[in-house]
Structure 1
Amino acid sequence: MSSLPETEILPVLQWEEGDAVRSMRWQSESGVNPPRRVVIADDTMSADAAFRLASEGTGLLWRGDYQNARQLLQAMVRRIERKPRKTADAPRDAFNLHRQAQSQRARTLGMLLMEVSADYTLALRRAPDIRQACNEAYGAGSTPFVVSLREILGLIGAHEWRKTGVEIASLGTKIHPYYGVFSPVRGEYLQLVADAPLPARSLAFDIGTGTGVIAALLAQRGVEQVVATDLDTRAISCARDNLSRLDLRDRVEVIQADLFPPGKAPLIVCNPPWIPARPSSAIEHAIYDPDSRMLRGFLQGLKAHLAPQGEGWLILSDLAEHLQLRTREELLQMIEAAGLSVIARLDTRPVHARASDASDALHAARSREVTSLWRLAVA
């Protein structure tokens, strides 16, 4: 695994198998603690028994056929979906119930466990080769560990996305997301960046670059130099890789920074997480922003980093407003308190499947969602 400070204590999973007590390092991308109780599971375990044990918080360490484990996980999903969903009239309550249900679902399904060797192999019948997917996500291996099957499936899916890429219409090419880096699947906000009038073409900052897609789009539009920032090391690597693929590394510099790089620019762009709530995994930091930390930080620091007559572009969904988690008045107050004014606003409606899915728990809010590019200037 990637190197860690000597003082960091890695979580350990312990279980009984045969006549011995065994233990192994625990791996959880979402930071979930290892289950306190573990039983050995194989092809003879029924879906009902597995679901009951997992619902009670018992880990199921799999020793059977890999493909049978995948089928068992799907059977557990079906049992969760059969349960009546709690509903609420108030949007905020509906959101909280939705998050609770998501959390419980993740805990239950995360109880089906796999042992992975130090070289990232699975010693199971019909197991796939996950070595490259693990190396891409975790770095070089060093010690065996136990991880949930769900996380393994996530690794495999992320590897396929990274390999094949995601088509970006406004770029006219593909972006290759890394594991743990949010994929730019919602193209409507990128089209706003493609359509907004540029205040200058000399320099731009892209704050929280992620895959580097906005930085690439700005460079493609003719901005001569772009400085893209992110705190996450995976995002830094991902953005640099994508910009190299697009032959833009000579025009886009990617640096690790908390929000702003040094200096000033005539254009500063930020697409912060749009929902003020706590994320439950690394990738959810692109969606959930506790107390609107990144949004507030961007607005409060914008004035000091904008060149004269410069613009700050805030790209933000209003979903939080429809969920009653933040009001439009609060957003406007943040802008005013930061010494900024609104020049103009470009709006678009989402085209992703959830926006029209009436069965979605948050459909009432999603159906009214608007994503905006706020053109901001120093007041």
Structure 2
Amino acid sequence: MTTIPTNRHTDIEWRNESTQKPPKQALFIDRANADMLLQYARNNTAVVWQGDFHNAKQILAALKKRIRKPAAQAPQADIQTAFHRHRLQQAQQSRLINMLAVEIGAGFTLNLPRAPDVSAALADVYGLPNETPFLLPLNQLLGFIGAHEWHKKGVNIPALGGRIHVPFGVFSPLRGEYLELLMQAPLPRHYRTAFDIGTGSGVLAALLARRGVSTVIGTDTNPRAINCAEANLTRLGLSQQVRIEHTDLFPAGCADLIVCNPPWLPAKPTSAIEAALYDPDHAMLKSFLNGVAAHLNPGGEAWLVISDLAEHLHLRHADFLQQCFQTASLTVIDVLHTKPVHQKAAAPKDPLSFARNQETTHLYRLKPKK
């Protein structure tokens, strides 16, 4: 737990889902403007808003407008540098934005005029209610509220005949193209067992069960993901077919089919949720490929679902995956591919649009070399 000094002459806990260092101090105030908040933020001082909640949201919007400036199109000659510059700029902007905070009272209460009931949204993130107050960046609180609404609504997955419900901190299957690849890949009728490595929401494990695999084990190390996956499988009536284990990569034993959708970009995550997107030096990908053959039954396959966005960002060479397959003594028996349809792929103002509009998502069917 991290505590910081305040102008109330008492220390108070500071919570932040990102890896950012806490501010050096916090000031409780009920009147301010965006310029004042920006000055405090640049001095590593957080402002804890004590006034009207809707006014705080307006000031936050003004603060973001001052901080976020349109990024120039990345030069094609130095794409990798452009990507890392973009990530650094995002981190710097996020730190300044997160300096506007609110105090969360005992029992996840927010005692500000016109404030909504935030207890359910905070319980989604933290579990049991708090007994002592803590400070939370307003931008993160709004993110928690939005995530809670998405959690309740869920994401419709036609192939499942139902919805996947995802709380804050778990990667959501909004990008449906990789799910379609899993449904299109030929599945031998005699495959009865499967592992889903890094199951997250449990959506891939559920799809394998729907396709007729009688026993599926999903693994993950994120407690939020494990709880999320188990809840989704129960809701879909698949908890008898699918079991979730708190395990790093492979469970004990072997399976006919092993599926993995690892993080696609080799960069350092700045928050827990980013661990589903960024994996330094492709550590999980390499560990999966190097270990998968030992966990396959004779005649079994490994399915790797991965995008080539990292190649278009010059974060890995075009032959990187083939080298990984060779090192792991794996043979590619088929490749399925599709183009993304998510909003960023067609957003010209996105600073990485030059790479996103070239992206292709692949499903590699792999077998151990004989």
TM-score by length of 1: 0.94
Tell me, yes or no, if the aligned pair for 1:206 and 1:227 is still in contact at 8 Å.
Answer: yes
Task: Tell me the percent identity.
Answer: 48
Distance in 1 of aligned mates of 2:292 and 2:71:
46
Distance 1:363 1:86 in 2: 9
Unaligned regions of 5+ residues in structure 1, if any? 1-9
Distance 2:23 2:60 in 1: 17
Q: Is the 8 A contact 1:169 1:187 kept in 2?
A: no
In the alignment, which of 181, 189, 200 is matched to residue 192 of structure 1? 181
Structure 1 residue 16 corresponds to structure 2 residue 7: yes
Give, in angstroms, the shift of residue 14 of structure 1.
Answer: 0.9
**Aligned pairs for 1:292-371 within 5 A:** 292-371=282-361
Moved more, 194-203 or 63-72: 194-203
- Amino acid aligned to 2:17: E
| Deviation of 1:87 (Å) | 4.4
Does the residue aligned with 1:152 lie in a helix, a strand or coil? Answer: helix
Pick aligned residue for 1:286 from 273, 276, 291: 276
Q: Which stretch shows the higher mean deviation, 240-249 or 161-170?
A: 161-170
- 2:34 paired residue number: 47
Superposition pairs of residues 196-207 of structure 1, within 5 angstroms: 196-199=185-188, 200-207=190-197
Q: Deviations over 1:86-143 (max 9, x none)?
A: 8444210110111011101110110001111121101111111111111121111232
Residue 143 (structure 1) aligned with residue 125 (structure 2): no
| Equivalent residue number for residue 171 of structure 1 | 160
Letter in 2 for 1:73: L
* Matches of 1:142 and 1:217, distance apart in 2: 41
Deviation of 1:243 after TM superposition, in Å, equals 0.3
Unaligned runs of 5+ in 2: none
Structure 1 residue 84: deviation in Å?
5.8
- The letter of the residue matching 2:105 is S
Q: May I ask how many residue pairs the two structures share in their alignment?
A: 366
Q: Please tell me the root mean square deviation across aligned C-alpha atoms, in Å.
A: 1.4
In the alignment, residue 61 of structure 1 is paired with which amino acid?
V
Matched with 2:202 is: 212
Q: CA distance change for structure 1 residues 45 and 85 in 2, over 3 Å: closer, same or farther?
A: farther
* Partner SS for 1:277: coil
| Aligned-pair CA distance for 1:215 | 0.5
Aligned match of 1:228: 218
**TM-superposed deviation, 1:83:** 6.1
Partner SS, residue 259 of structure 2: strand
Tell me what 2:81 maps to: 93
User: 1:10-49 CA deviation, whole Å, 9 max, x = no partner?
Assistant: 11021113xxx1211111111322211333332x312222
Contact 1:87–1:97 under 8 Å retained in 2: no
Partner of 1:328, secondary structure, is coil
How far did 1:82 drift? 4.0
Render the CA deviation track for 1:321-352: whole Å, top value 9, x for unaligned: 11111113121111111111100100000000
Question: What amino acid is aligned across from residue 27 of structure 2 in structure 1?
Answer: V
- Cα distance, 1:319 vs structure 2: 0.4
Aligned ranges 1:105-120 → 2 under 5 Å: 105-120=93-108
Q: 1:372 aligns with which of 339, 362, 366?
A: 362
- What is the identity, as a one-letter code, of the residue corresponding to 1:174? R
The offset of 1:182, in angstroms, is: 0.6
Structure 1 distance, partners of 2:49, 2:270, is 25
Q: Is the 8 A contact 1:275 1:292 kept in 2?
A: yes
Distance 1:29 1:82, change over 3 A: closer
Q: Does 1:126 align with 2:114?
A: yes
